[in-house]
Amino acid sequence: MPVRRDEIAGAPDPFARYPASTFATIQIGLMKLLVEKKVGRNGWAVMVALCRKVYSDGRLGRTPAADIADTSGLTAYQVARGMKELRDKGIIAPVTRKTAQGYRHPDRSNYGHVAQYRFTKRAWARIDTVSSGPSA
């Protein structure tokens, strides 16, 4: 079916609009890193789900495994395998917290699993970030 250009030009906004928190973006440097490390399909799906919220210091938003499974269609075991694969290939690591006594340990939830992850330094160096200030 041919498309008439005048119909498109008269549209108020030609871009797709999605509801908040229903999409993720993967930066091209991260995508290249996932390909170079030969990350499998479970790792890709988990990475896309984790990339819904990325902080400026490389931390990933806290996303429960059940939410990752619901959004990606993976089972709980596939999510666990994807997380393990991303950790083993050096793409993500647990966020390190400091206790009141000065000890460092991985951020843990009340259930004993890691609560929050971050990109490793090597992976974060591959990802292009946008500075908040004006570019010169």
- All structural domains of the chain, each given as residue ranges with its CATH number in brackets, are 24-126 (1.10.10.10)
pLDDT in tens, 20-65: 767 777 888 899 999 999 999 999 999 999 988 888 888 888 888 8
In which band, very low, low, confident or very high, does the pLDDT at 136 lie, cut at 50, 70 and 90? Answer: very low
Kindly give, in sequence order, each residue whose CB lies less than 8 Å from that of residue 116, ignoring residues fewer than 6 positions away.
Answer: 59, 60, 62, 94, 95, 107
DSSP conformational letter for 107: -
Helices then strands (H, E): number in the chain? 6, 4
Give the end-to-end CA distance of the chain in Å, rounded to a whole number: 46
Rounded distance, CA 127 to CA 23, Å? 19
Quote the pLDDT of residue 114: 64
pLDDT in tens, 62-106: 888 888 899 889 999 999 999 999 999 999 998 877 767 776 666
Quote the pLDDT of residue 48: 92
Quote the pLDDT of residue 111: 52
pLDDT in tens, 112-130: 556 788 999 999 998 877 6
CB 119 within 8 A of CB 58: yes
Quote the pLDDT of residue 133: 47
Quote the pLDDT of residue 56: 86
